[in-house]
Structure 1
Amino acid sequence: MRRIILTLMMLFTIAACSNEEAEPNEDMTNSENENEETADTETDTESEAADEEETDESASVSSSRGNGNTEDDESDSEDSEETTEGAASDDEVPAEPADLLADTERVEGYWINYSGEDDARSHMTRTEPIEYNSDQDYTVTAASYVSYFYGNEFIKTNNYGHDGPHVIEKVPEANRLVISFSEPEQDDIELIDAATDEASAGNEVNTTPDELIGRGQPNEEEMSGTIMFGQDFLSGDEVYTGERIDSEGEFVEDPDYYVTGALPYSASGDYVITAPAFVSFYNGRNFIETIEFTSVPAYLPQVNGANYINISFHDDNLLDLNIIEIE
């Protein structure tokens, strides 16, 4: 009996051990199966990602080719722009030469003579001042007198005869012209802003004598000398505010103006003014004249008998004004 009982106990013990060993094997099997499934899933995911990347790259290439981002498209675009610009350039037509007298007012009974005077002559007519650029050519088509000015300062007058048309002389110191002509030419005369095909240069019949030729625009590179008036003179008794000197030599109130004290002047000296202003000339206390300067820098004229000047200038030109006595 005891043997039977012992035998049964041994069998139960062996069975229990067998069950404990079997359970871990089942877990391992399940784990291995799960790992295999995970690996398969990852493989599928990687494959799908690779397919998506290939699709994106293909789409990117296609998009680049279609939207002009490639070098070929840029080159095509540039070629197209150049072609368009070339076509526009081909369509441009040079401006036709114009007659500057067509819209210029005329003054009958006067001409500018060789001394620069507005001389009364009943059979003559002159124009109002015309803007002039010495870098380009001008043609006068009939007998006339061409007077050159820098602002209001006379430089010279040239006479051109009846054998025109004439390309007029270039005068770099000038910035304005006045054309004078007689009655027979008034319907035919033109001032063309170019050298016409049939015109020739160097045909001046007569001109202003050398001693009467004005200097015109100063050469700024040669404007060295003593500053008679400038920034160092803007304090103290050298400047009066709120007034100016008019064309009659009278001091008048003007809140936007300054006027200098008396500055020494000699008709034999060379002086340059660097900003727009009115210059009044005196001999002692005797007023001579007031001259307005709008084109600057400019030489002061030689006013015989004057021994000092006053400068009236606007507040806007306060920092630009100098009077230089050229050495």
Structure 2
Amino acid sequence: MFSFLDMINHYLGYVNLNVKLKNRIYTILGVIGVVYLLYVSVRWIQNGFGLRGSLILLVAIILAYFSVMNVFYYFTNKQAPFDISPKIEKMLGKTLGAGDTATEDGQQSRRQRGNNLLNGANIPANGYFDSKKILPGKVAVNAEQSSNIAQLANQLQQMKLMTPDYGGLGSRELAQQLEKTKKPVYAIGLGVNIPYFELQQDGQQMIVYAGMNQAQKAPMGKITTVGLQPIEDVYDKVKLYLANVILVGGPYMEMGRNEPIEKQAPYMIRVQLAYERDKQAHRVQQNEAPSRQEGFSQSESMTNTPTSPTAPTSRMSRYH
């Protein structure tokens, strides 16, 4: 019987099956194996080998419990009753040398702080701006600026301000999320807020500087568009401010043939820009080229759909 189950398991490895389907097949095979063990244990007891039969029966009951848990997990959307998996996971963690509950809670707290550094709902890094006057910006980077971004990502990780651990998700949870969303899952999630950033103008170029602090700032890229318009068309007509800069990209998971596989991508930055009209330039522009001014107004209406006229902008939701 066990040779038969092992043979099926061996041949399933040659077939490219969906992870969930394969786990369902393994669950069915497990149920068959449990039924066989129950039969063997009963036969041992009937033949006068009570101790051996009882031990086999005990093992069969334990395996039957986990088989039922798998049936709930892979064949239904219901929560399994009397699920002791979290307790077993916690017990095994302590046995294998993991920290105690307080230590684990502290580590989880640090991960949460790292991947939500300076969360906009609590500690705005660059102040609050009117959500009606926030536009997304596109950033172009050269080789040096890309290297600066990678160095900043390393610093954030070394300082425990960023934890690229996929939010603590295991392979099974990642597979479920990938199957559900059909999108890659990044190790740092939706992004990590950068501690310090500023915008500097160099001629017609608007350069983003960022770093761990003002003393360690470095150029990270130049703004190419604001909303739907090139920066060259608007830089002298409005005052621009950096409302937010986040670090995105890095390692990510996507679904392979049978299970999630990790791939590497460069770290990048995404920006939000607040704008304020330059009144003097606005009057000149109205006299000289009103059509271009109308174009910018249309760009604003196309790229802004505020939910509340007075609500501060969200630091993360506008990117996704």
Bucket of the pairwise TM-score, normalised by the shorter protein? under 0.3
- Relative to its length, the structure with more strand (as a share) is 1
- Relative to its length, the structure with more helix (as a share) is 2
TM-score (norm 2): 0.21
TM-score (norm 1): 0.21
Structure number with larger C-alpha Rg: 1
Higher RCO (CA < 8 A, seq sep 6+): 2
